[in-house]
A and B are shown apart, each in its own frame.
Chain A
Amino acid sequence: MADRLEDSFAESLIANLDSSSGSWLAVEEIIDRLKSSLTPAATKESWKYTPLRDFLVGFTGAAAVTPDITGVNQPGLTMSALSAAGEYARGPAALANTGPLPLADAALLCAGDAVHIKVSGEIAQPLEISYGEGVQVPIVITLEDNASLQLIERNNAVEFCNHSLFVELNRGSRLNHARSALDSNCCDWGLTQVRLLETTDYRLQQYHTGARKRRAETLILLDGRGARAELTGAYVVESNSHLDQQFIVEHRSPDTFSRQTFHGIGAGKGTIVFNGRIHIHPDSPGSDASLVNKNLALHPEATINTKPELEIYTDDVKCAHGATVGQLAEDSIFYLRSRGLSRDDARTLLCRAFLKSCIEGVLAEEVTEALLRNLTGP
């Protein structure tokens, strides 16, 4: 029995390692990197507001569970085990070299078999992934040249869940990706890595509530000329809830484009962490990036930490960012009340309006009321 939580976490990952499929990195190397990535210094900044330890207790050493996947029986989709996906070494390797996300995340991909889904051509029906309780088997999705897919991801766990998704978009492919995590009791930690090659188009709509602890890390690698990523989302964090969203967008090729637009509400005495990082690498002229994160502090004791980070190493780029925390306009509330709407109805209407510009796509209807279910405050 390990003394430190970090050690038992590492052991549980190692126990899950399948030597036949963990072929990209030597097992010893994974263990070494994992241990060093879990040192307090390495995790300090990225985990400042969300203690990593809170998640580690969920890694009990039990075998990873395969998520529920529907829509896979369609022409153009094939599903196999990870051993066929040795070529994805670049995925986790790239991640390991990038920014503040700890290697612990990448190591999860090596924790046993992963599911590999290959996509070719235009897929008619959505592919839906639902996560349940426990550590989930990682999913790797490859879109072949000019493929297109609608992906829907739902987190249905109510206790503990850890999931990871690795996507590669090959030339000319398009992925529309909608996801939600709406249970307020869960402790969950999700990692998404999307790598975009030339002239690809990726759209994400992310809808989250707070939870006992919820951390969603998304890494976007713009690795081909003309790659475009549009990330939008809306979130509401109620009392005793915690939501930590981390976005990293790496512009690593010329003429790449990214948009991040997120609106969120601190509806109770809970914590919002939003960290959006734009990194424009050398030799990426013509990059065009923007990040907008607007927060509404509905409750006076809502804690909201939002921080845009920019690192730019190329001239001739466009980059805009803004992060705000505001309050509902009392004049608007009074105007609505003066027409007979109750204070609660007025607040709900204004909150819905605030989130609406960030709610779109296939999940729009199912998430709107869920997000607005419990707006508390004065």
Chain B
Amino acid sequence: MNILEIKDLHVSVGGEQILKGLNLSVEQGSVHAIMGPNGSGKSTLANVLAGKPGYVIDRGEIHFDGDLLNDVDPEVRARAGLFLAFQYPVEIPGVSNMEFLKAAVDSLAAARGGEQTTAVEFVKSVRKIATALDLNPEFLKRGVNEGFSGGERKRNEILQLLLLNPRLAVLDETDSGLDIDAMQTVADGINRFRDAHNCVLLITHYQRLLNHVVPDVVHVLSDGVIVKSGEKDLAVTLEERGYAWLTD
């Protein structure tokens, strides 16, 4: 059963066509890696999946758990279980991480018809995840990503992933800019998340992360289309040979 199904997706940004007929199916319980050179459209794919304004679908369809997603608001996607870990998470001074995370958890719980967690339970679970990710829980009192280093921002994205526990996690270069220890921590977080009921779209520029989070399928994105798909060995080949041979 496919959680995500993308058919012939054409997307333009600022009048320029970026995705040019992308097809992709991600089944429940699997991890798909997307690799590709800079500017090939990886973040465009991530953003259009999350419903970012300004990303225009010219043609094609995105299905999520069988429902057409094309015109659905970002918050509705999130409540349905779609999560994007941003390549560049924004800083929102004045909104505390705690306040933000509680609002997110509550809105998802409300959409699922579940009970709201009490403040005490909530703080407990957030602290537990933060500690596992080597994030000092004191950060939770600060503004969202306020004064965070690049690595702290990425770990904060993984914290949200574990807290919100979505159906589909799209991780946009969560590994870039991390030192080896931090990458291990992030990889542990992703492995902790993945299970038989969800799926992961792991966008990365390096195969390094894939040594820690072993994908079921590796796709190569180039100039807005997937030009090759294979097993995890493909990532190793790409690391050795680069991308050029695929499009020659």
Contacts and interface: CB of A to CB of B under 8 A. Distances in A.
Contacts of A335: 86, 89-90, 92, 144
Contacts of A330: 53
8 closest A-B pairs (Cβ-Cβ)? A353-B94, A339-B104, A340-B107, A340-B78, A337-B74, A337-B75, A353-B95, A340-B108
Given A334-B52, A336-B100, A349-B99, A341 B75 contact: yes
A312 interface: no
B143 interface: yes
A273 B244 CA distance: 60
Interface in A8-42: none
Interface string B40-71: 00000000001111000000000000000000
B200 interface: no
Contacts, number: 75
B95 A350 contact: yes
A185 to B, nearest CB: 30
Given A330-B53, A334-B53, A349-B103, A339 B164 contact: yes
Interface of B: 50-53, 73-75, 77-79, 83-84, 86, 89-90, 92-95, 99-100, 103-104, 107-108, 111, 143-144, 160, 164
- The majority secondary structure among interface residues of chain A is helix
B100 A349 contact: yes
Contacts of B100: 336, 339, 349
Given A337-B73, A338-B50, 9 more contacts: A331-B90, A335-B89, A336-B104, A337-B51, A338-B77, A339-B107, A345-B107, A353-B95, A357-B94
A340 B74 CA distance: 7
A46 B94 CA distance: 34
A339 B82 CA distance: 9
A44 interface: no
Contacts of B52: 334, 338
B174 to A, nearest CB: 15
B74 A338 contact: yes
B78 A339 contact: yes
A353 B78 contact: no
Contact size class for A?
A: 20 to 34
Given A332-B92, A353-B95, A340 B73 contact: no
Interface of A: 329-332, 334-343, 345, 349-350, 352-354, 356-357
Contacts of B86: 335, 338
A341 B84 contact: no
B164 to A, nearest CB: 7
Contacts of A339: 78, 100, 103-104, 107, 160, 164
B143 A337 contact: no
A332 B146 CA distance: 12
A332 B99 CA distance: 15
Nearest to B92: A332
Given A330-B53, A337-B73, A342 B90 contact: no
A329 B90 contact: yes
Contacts of B74: 334, 337-338
9 contacts: A336-B100, A338-B77, A339-B103, A340-B75, A345-B107, A349-B95, A349-B103, A350-B92, A356-B94
